[in-house]
Chains A and B, each alone.
Chain A
Amino acid sequence: MTQEEIKQTLLQRLKSIAPDTEPSQLKPDDNIRQTLGIDSFDYLQFIVALDEQFGIQTPEEDYGKIQTLKELTDYVDARVKR
């Protein structure tokens, strides 16, 4: 999976969790939760989606490392390839 494919998949997942937002307009360094207005419940759904889609069990202490689209894509990329 290329970085771009990962990013597109992440955006699709965000869109299905927050259907009335436009994740595709996120800039690489935007804070995802603040920009899209994703609350803790939706965020947990997204973490579950990461597990379903990529098999990544994100520990809670890593939540701070994946606040922007760029951070998130890198994070997934590093774990998918391994």
Chain B
Amino acid sequence: MKYLRFVLDHLRKDLRLEWRGRDAINGMLFFALLVVAIFSLAFDPTGYPTTTRQISGGVLWVAILFSSVTALNQAWTREIRNQVLDAQRMAPSPASSLFLGKALANLIFVLCVEAILAPIFIIFYNLHPLGNAWLFLLVMPLGTWALVVNGTFFAALGLRARNRELLLPLLLFPVSLPAILAMVQAASGILTNDIDAIQINLWIKQLAAYDIIFTTLCILLFETILHAE
């Protein structure tokens, strides 16, 4: 329970900082909108509803993936200012609670962006989901967590690297590929209703398994990252 309190403390601190500045959410939202706009140049979303349905799942996740990378890159930089991270290193609380708090905060930021983005996306791309749209309530958080948990971890890993803005996507994208595959397949499946419900469920289960495995791995290895010298 003490551990949970540490996590909540870190989470509260990050939420408060974000509430005061709102840098991450505003930046991500605008970036995602730009990606949506650029994809509408690549194909005509209103003219071809079937094609739009088939590729919208992918476009949505690409927009979220790229925009969340911009925020994740900044996630740890506010800890560097005034040597806050050094203080965190010496703090008696377990290192993984710092990580979990940060990852949960990032999850909330990205989910906020998705909540605003989703209606805009539906309007701009003239989407009518043919499958069970309520499943998105499961797919979006699970997929976002898969991105955010690894992203927060790799952002901390590359914190002192040269070109750290470049390093994060180079590490995050290859490791996330199975999760991205599952997210895109599940989302397209719900939108087009082409594949049957059992398969969509299997993709969601796979996403959940990916989340569990990589969350465990991140929690186990975060201390090595924080004290890597």
Q: Do A and B come from one complex?
A: no
Chain B residues at the A interface, C-beta cutoff of 8 Å: none
